[in-house]
Chains A and B, each alone.
Chain A
Amino acid sequence: MSISGSATAFGSASEVVDLKALQAEADLGAPIAELDRDLVGLAPVKQRIREIAAFLLVARARQEVGLTSEPPTLHMAFTGNPGTGKTTVALRMANILHRLGYIRKGHLVSVTRDDLVGQFIGHTAPKTKEVLKRAMGGVLFIDEAYYLHRPENEKDYGQEAIEILLQVMENQREDLVVILAGYRQRIESFFVSNPGFRSRIAHHIDFPDYDAGELLSIAEVLAAQSEYRLSPAARDAMVDYIARRREQPNFANARSIRNALDRARLRQAMRLCAGNGVASREALQTIEAEDIRASRVFTT
């Protein structure tokens, strides 16, 4: 793919930019392939990340042929239910943006309200500025951003932090990328009371809930990551478990699955210890159906 057609419109044909070469140089294929491989589901999110990557590539190509390219606004808002992978994607985003040359260092500074808002008058501004300085050259990830704004208390110092954030998001776009994350409704109402935020955030990405099949593959990926394996019977038990757990309150998608696996590992350890005292490599690796079926979820 090349943009030769448009390049001839304002210069010689020699001003052709090889986007493929640029892409190879930025080594973009690797992080995006990793994203595809490691993260189950999340199709709209992956699509959006590909779009952003392509956009940054084109912005760089425009720069090379001497077209004006304002530094694009890349501040993002990640919305979605608990455990849908917002933090995981934010971490990868820092890596991708760094490889694209959009941010200089590629580190992620993850903060919540406590890290930004001070306890007394005059404490908030230095605290927020300190965090912003630390995040420069990387990504600032503000989890549960709506807690910054406390509508019930108009003397709350959160407003001060918001003002400083907005100022830096506007004036130092080339120095850092801000990602806000939280539950959809609450982020929405946060934007309604702080319209400045909505207009400064170009990318609103919604993280969908996982379906049962995706949750099962997540369980398998998680188990494989810590070198465990689900036996076929355990796999069936997991399918049952997911179906029941999803109906219960406080279901937190991938996080619930991770917790379930952690508890299954505990039960597996107990089972092995209570057994005849000999465990093969195979047995140490395998989670059996009984480890999963012992869960509280099956009794209630």
Chain B
Amino acid sequence: MRVTQGTFSFLPDLTDPQIAAQVEYCLRQEWAVSVEFTDDIHPRNTYWEMWGLPMFDLRDAAGVMQEIRACRAANPHVYIRVSAFDSTRGWETVRLSFLVQRPPDEPGFRLERVESQGRTIRYAVRAYSLDQPAGRRYRGSGETIAAPGEGR
């Protein structure tokens, strides 16, 4: 099941020049762009791993593209997204966030029903990939997740 998270997720995956153009837009708005990755794609998972620090003083998308490429090379089988943070007073939030890599095979989610008091049914969404321990999801190869600086 194709994961649709963040902006542009109902479009075909963006190509590198398209990603660069979006990043270029973010930099023009003076947003700080960062690269994050995860193998736990639950919609409510807000704790993605950071690939290095947010890039606060870039002027050109080439620097971000370089980091995206490095992150892809180190973690070929996880989700990677680009986020743009707007520090303007009153906003102070992420303004744009989109996926720049997804695993080749996305098994999707299952619905879990839990009975609670008075036979009330509570529902939970759980990704099939979460049955595998971290690092082996989407791959099954025992490959671990690499942080920036490792394995580069």
Give the interface of A toward B (CB within 8 A): 104-105, 107, 122, 126, 132-134, 136-138, 172, 175-176
A175: nearest chain-B partner, CB-CB: B62
B104 at the interface (CB under 8 A from A): no
The answer to whether A137 and B149 have CB atoms under 8 Å apart is no
Q: With A104-B60, A175-B62 in contact, is A133–B55 under 8 Å at CB?
A: yes
Mask, B1-36, CB within 8 Å of A = 1, is: 000000000000000000000000000000000000
Q: List 28 A-B contacts (CB under 8 A).
A: A104-B60, A105-B59, A105-B60, A122-B149, A126-B149, A133-B55, A133-B58, A133-B63, A133-B64, A133-B66, A133-B67, A134-B57, A134-B58, A134-B59, A134-B63, A136-B58, A136-B59, A136-B60, A136-B62, A137-B59, A137-B60, A137-B61, A137-B62, A138-B59, A138-B60, A172-B62, A175-B60, A175-B62
B55: nearest chain-A partner, CB-CB: A133
Docked pose: A196 CA to B58 CA in angstroms: 28
Docked pose: A133 CA to B60 CA in angstroms: 8
- On chain B, the residues within 8 Å of A138 by CB distance are 59-60
- On chain B, the residues within 8 Å of A175 by CB distance are 60, 62
Give 8 new A-B contacts, CB below 8 A, not counting A122-B149, A133-B55, A175-B62. A133-B64, A133-B66, A134-B63, A136-B58, A137-B59, A137-B62, A175-B60, A176-B62
A109: nearest chain-B partner, CB-CB: B59
Docked pose: A172 CA to B66 CA in angstroms: 10
Docked pose: A166 CA to B97 CA in angstroms: 34
* Minimum C-beta distance from B52 to chain A (A): 8
B148: nearest chain-A partner, CB-CB: A126
- On chain B, the residues within 8 Å of A122 by CB distance are 149
SS of A interface (majority): loop
Docked pose: A222 CA to B69 CA in angstroms: 48
- On chain A, the residues within 8 Å of B62 by CB distance are 133, 136-137, 172, 175-176
Mask, B45-80, CB within 8 Å of A = 1, is: 000000000010111111110110000000000000
* Minimum C-beta distance from A168 to chain B (A): 9
* Minimum C-beta distance from A127 to chain B (A): 12
Docked pose: A176 CA to B63 CA in angstroms: 11
- On chain B, the residues within 8 Å of A105 by CB distance are 59-60
- On chain B, the residues within 8 Å of A134 by CB distance are 57-59, 63
- On chain A, the residues within 8 Å of B66 by CB distance are 133, 136
- On chain B, the residues within 8 Å of A133 by CB distance are 55, 58, 62-64, 66-67
Docked pose: A62 CA to B53 CA in angstroms: 41
- On chain A, the residues within 8 Å of B58 by CB distance are 133-134, 136
A168: nearest chain-B partner, CB-CB: B66
- On chain A, the residues within 8 Å of B59 by CB distance are 105, 107, 134, 136-138
* Minimum C-beta distance from A203 to chain B (A): 22
Pick the most buried of A132, A133, A134, A136: most chain B CB atoms within 10 A of its CB. A133
* Minimum C-beta distance from A171 to chain B (A): 10
